[in-house]
Amino acid sequence: GENVEQHPSTLSVQEGDSAVIKCTYSDSASNYFPWYKQELGKRPQLIIDIRSNVGEKKDQRIAVTLNKTAKHFSLHITETQPEDSAVYFCAALTQGGSEKLVFGKGTKLTVNP
């Protein structure tokens, strides 16, 4: 089955700096890769997603890149703000049979003012 690895597990940056979180996946048939932000005790919120036919997608300060050949995808947050502090999860949507979202282990991002 699909396996999603996420790094780093924790990331601390200064306000205004950029943050990058990386994920790899194992199943080349996976074709949809969302990123979720989860604050403590809250539901995961979709912040950006990318499909396998696209290499990069940007939404204001957030961007995601996908390298299908290497089975890597990354989240880039620029000009970080304290309110970006949260746990971020990457995921991959498996194909074949039942479609399921498989999540990475999460990255706790702390943006220091």
The dihedral region occupied by 105, where left means phi > 0, alpha psi between -120 and 50, and beta the remainder, is alpha
Tell me the closest approach of the beta carbon of residue 53 to other proteins, in angstroms: 12
Tell me the closest approach of the beta carbon of residue 39 to other proteins, in angstroms: 11
The nearer residue to other proteins, 59 or 79, going by C-beta atoms, is: 59
How many CB atoms are located within 10 Å of the residue 10 CB?
A: 10
Cβ proximity of 73 and 42 under 8 Å: no
The nearer residue to other proteins, 27 or 49, going by C-beta atoms, is: 49
The nearer residue to other proteins, 38 or 65, going by C-beta atoms, is: 38
Strand 45-51 relative to strand 107-112, pairing: unpaired
Using CB under 8 A as the criterion, which residues of the chain lie in contact with other proteins when the complex forms? 32, 34, 41-46, 49, 51, 89, 93, 98-106, 108
Tell me the closest approach of the beta carbon of residue 101 to other proteins, in angstroms: 6
Distance CA 15, CA 10 (A): 16
Tell me the closest approach of the beta carbon of residue 28 to other proteins, in angstroms: 17
